[in-house]
Amino acid sequence: MNRKNLVLLMMLLVTIVGNAVGQRTYQNPVITGMNPDPSICRAGDDYYLVTSTFEYYPGVPVYHSKDLVNWKHIGHALHTPKNCPLGGAYSSGGNYAPAIRYNDGIFYVTCTNYGGQGSQGAFYVTATNPAGPWSDPVWVGNWNVDPSIMFANDSMYWVSPDNKGSFMVGTFDPVKKEFITPLRLIAAGLGGSSPEGPHMYKINDYYYLMSAEGGTGYEHREVIQRSKSPYGPYEPSPYNPVISNMNKPESPFHAIGHADLLQLPDGSWWIFTLGIRPKGGKYHHLGRETFLAPLRWTDDGWPIGGDNGNMLEEFPTPNLPEHQWEKNPVRDDFNSEKLGLQWNFLRNPYEADWSLTDKPGFLRLNGSKVSLTDRDSPAFVGRRQAHFNMVASTKVSFIPVAENEEAGLVVRGNDENNFSLYLSMHEGERVVTLRKTLKNKEAELSRLAVPKGDVVLRISATDLEYKFWAQPKGKKAMLVGTAATKDISTEKISGFIGAYIGMYASGNGKANTNPADFHWFDYEEASKQN
């Protein structure tokens, strides 16, 4: 019996035994909220995954798993201004499509930084501990997006699109930090728009070149081709796409693609992809998320992902011991000298804009002249919205002096689109205002007077609507207003990112007179009736 048939027999036996005892299953997506372009590697019994972050800092979260289903955020591959330069980056610019690989005790993350001041395009960073610290960037001398690497034949192959619809490969010396074999064209895309996100794998006698195409929308899919040489010629799979829900309009998942492959110790194969969950029609606002599906090989050596090429809501779990991590607490009370890993800034933050030590036990934001709509870094600390149904709230102490001064909560789509719930002054009276900013046009939806003292601001959400609340000390919570989630969906505002919810302060052209002190921040998944 050859190795391929032995692996298939093992997988069949696992399935039979699993069905007999009650097979465990998992639900997609496995990492929710904005986590696009997943890339995966294995180091022993541990699995590490990275995703794109664009203009958010620190960049490229590193997730850890023991079972491929349950994931823990352990660090960021891009965590210093030197390896994550984002000053001036446009929204949906910054860090694109990382890939993670492990070789001889070293982790490598490749990426391309678009638009950040100091960026030189494509680069990689390294670490011996995936939680960090990671190295300064090694810039490779080009701006080709979505690079990846493959270790094979005692060589480090650099795999990259040419930004013109084809793919290139060369060999790179990580010691001398230069190309040994220059990049050269090896294959073209397979007919879909925007060929991108290539990964190369050496499996048995073949080199497989897998890539995404069809754009980032509803035609997105993953395709594959192979060759006996890394330099070609390549033949396409007759079973393409490897995985895609483009012909499944009834599915809750769409835009499946930009994938990476992984083999487990039992011989089984798995595919990680990005995907979206539209609501209320073709509108998705959480961003592109991370999905997982099993992968099988045909008798003639081609991979097919999921259920005959489709991503489903539920699959049998991988043949690994279940390993759940301790859940993050609902409340962050800011009693540490470091922000939790869930928090991000917009671009590289200014040190004077925020502090956890100026007033211990509080997150202090010193509102600068930078506003939420500037291509800059406002005094903003935010996190991914990871659930359709959720509640986020904070208690804030803030005394505005002039009408330009504000501080509060924001649901951010991008630079030009957000919903902000904030404390400010209006005609000599302190008020809570709900403002909708869409395509850089501002509209104040409602305003409530509030007395002196701390105020709890709260945002509750369903898949279709946000509700905004204010609760002055000693008072009941008051509904300030509502907004439609689709107004910050990618289909409405374009770009590559998803909804963030955060705290902010701004003088909108001038610095705030007083700081805004945030006592705590709560985030929890809520019932659908919320």
Burial category of 118 from C-beta neighbours within 10 Å (exposed 0-12, middle 13-18, buried 19 and up): middle
Q: What mean pLDDT value characterizes the chain?
A: 95
pLDDT per residue over 257-270, tens digit each? 999 999 999 999 99
Architecture of domain 26-143+187-316: 5 Propeller (2.115)
Contacts with 330 (C-beta within 8 Å, 6 or more apart), sequence order: 522, 523, 524
CATH class of segment(s) 331-525? mainly beta
CATH 2.60.120.200 occupies which residues in the chain?
331-525
pLDDT score recorded for residue 498: 98
Phi and psi at 115, nearest 5°, equal 95, -15
CATH 2.115.10.20 occupies which residues in the chain?
26-143+187-316
Give SS3 for 19: helix
Q: Which helix (H) or strand (E) holds 202?
A: strand 196-203
The 3 state secondary structure assigned to 217-231 is: CCCCEEEEEEECCCC
pLDDT per residue over 467-487, tens digit each? 999 999 999 999 999 999 999
Phi and psi at 63, nearest 5°, equal -110, 145
337 carries an active-site annotation: no
**Cα–Cα distance, 294 to 271 (Å, whole number):** 6
Counting every residue written for the chain, the total comes to 530
Burial category of 8 from C-beta neighbours within 10 Å (exposed 0-12, middle 13-18, buried 19 and up): middle
465 carries an active-site annotation: no
pLDDT score recorded for residue 413: 98
**Cα–Cα distance, 248 to 274 (Å, whole number):** 16
Scan for tokens 């397979």, then name that residue.
190
Pair 50, 100: CB distance under 8 Å = yes
- Catalytic residue, chosen from 55, 67, 196, 406, is 196
Phi and psi at 83, nearest 5°, equal -95, 0
Pair 9, 231: CB distance under 8 Å = no
Q: Is the pLDDT of residue 11 over 80?
A: no
**Cα–Cα distance, 207 to 225 (Å, whole number):** 8
Q: Is the pLDDT of residue 504 over 60?
A: yes
Q: Is the pLDDT of residue 362 over 70?
A: yes
**Cα–Cα distance, 520 to 530 (Å, whole number):** 21
Percentage of the residues of the chain whose pLDDT score is greater than 70: 95
pLDDT per residue over 297-335, tens digit each? 999 999 999 999 999 999 999 999 999 999 999 999 999
DSSP 318: P
pTM: 0.95
Q: Is the pLDDT of residue 20 over 80?
A: no
Give SS3 for 306: coil
Pair 373, 416: CB distance under 8 Å = yes
Q: Which helix (H) or strand (E) holds 514?
A: none
Give SS3 for 485: helix
Confidence of residue 528 (pLDDT cuts 50, 70, 90): low
Q: Which helix (H) or strand (E) holds 139?
A: strand 138-139
- Catalytic residue, chosen from 37, 55, 260, 353, is 37
**Cα–Cα distance, 500 to 487 (Å, whole number):** 14
